[in-house]
Amino acid sequence: MELTAGIAYKIKIEFYKKLRYSFMQLIWQIPDDQIEQRAVAAAKKADVVVMVMGLSPRLEGEALNVELEGFKGGDRLKLDLPQTQSNFIRKIHKLGKPVVLVLLNGGPLSINWEDKYIPAIIEAWYPGQAAGTAIADVIFGDYNPGGKLPVTVYQSVEQLPAFTDYDMSNRTYRYFKGEPLYPFGHGLSYTTFSYMDLHLDKKEIRPDEQTLLSVAVSNTGKITGEEVVQLYIKAAKDNKTVKTLKGFKRISLMPNETRRVKFKITPERLARWIEGKGFSVEADTYTLMIGSSSSCHDLLKIDLKVKPK
């Protein structure tokens, strides 16, 4: 309803608790058709522009009464930012100011244009009540971030099978064979890391034996930072799975520091689901991969042969 200044309105609200954590709100907004113009004017005066964009729990969720472009009942019909946000980001970018894009969202966003043209992007998800302080700490360099993506961010919804297709093929980092926008496990910081000298103690074992895999990780940047070293495994005879995360270790390294990170390759780590057998270690060649994300471009690889019992 629209409210006119100077007129009193009677409002009757009937409310009952339908579900646990149910709540009610009375919300109003003063009409403002100059909000974008004021934002652009403020950006023109700024040295750096911090744009907080993304989605809201009011848009993405379950059984929501949402009928907007790109959304239907809480489901997302595409993975892009809402068009109004994309257009506004491009307007601000044209000003020639350095831009930091902060994303608040629950599901992944296909920000292809932003990835190409925006120099700094922070994925904050739904970060809670201390979000402002945490994000400011990252932007101003008081904290060197070391987070890694827990999902695959696709270039577009067109890379995915139909929603009605329940087969896992081409879904998630374990089965996706395309090139994502950001791979599972990806994450940058204010320093850089390099991986080298991948070593396997024994390159042939029996199904009930184990071996030790290690890699040298170096901080090649100028400040102390944390890296999440990730271990993936792929069995040669497994035609469905691309790779599976089997371990990770978070380490902190000072500039120019190198540390050797070790993983025990146990039967539990090599086991995979075999129909009729359950989780089993099969005689096979296993590719062991270590790196900073699930992307093939970020992984060092070495083969381990498991001999028959």
Q: Which residue has the tokens 């932007």?
A: 139
> What is the reported pLDDT for 18?
67
pLDDT along the chain (309 residues), means of 10: 89 77 79 91 97 92 83 88 96 97 96 98 95 97 97 96 89 96 98 98 96 98 98 96 98 98 97 94 97 97 95
> What is the reported pLDDT for 30?
83
Domain extent listing, the chain: 35-175, 193-306
CATH number of 35-175: 3.40.50.1700
CA distance 291 to 227: 10
Q: What is the CA radius of gyration of the chain?
A: 25
> What is the reported pLDDT for 14?
83
pTM of the model: 0.89
CA distance 4 to 81: 34
Give, in order, the Cα–Cα distances in Å from 167 to each of 96, 155, 158, 223, 276. 46, 20, 16, 45, 20
Give, in order, the Cα–Cα distances in Å from 299 to each of 84, 169, 219, 249. 38, 22, 16, 15
> What is the reported pLDDT for 145?
96
Alpha-helix runs per DSSP H in 20-171: 35-45, 83-93, 112-117, 131-139
CATH 2.60.40.10 fits 193-306, yes or no: yes
The closest alpha carbon to 173, from 232, 227, 126, 121, belongs to 232
Q: Which residues 6+ apart lie within 8 Å of 143 measured at CB?
A: 134, 137
Determine whether 151 is exposed, middle or buried from the number of CB atoms within 10 Å of its CB (0-12, 13-18, 19+).
Answer: middle
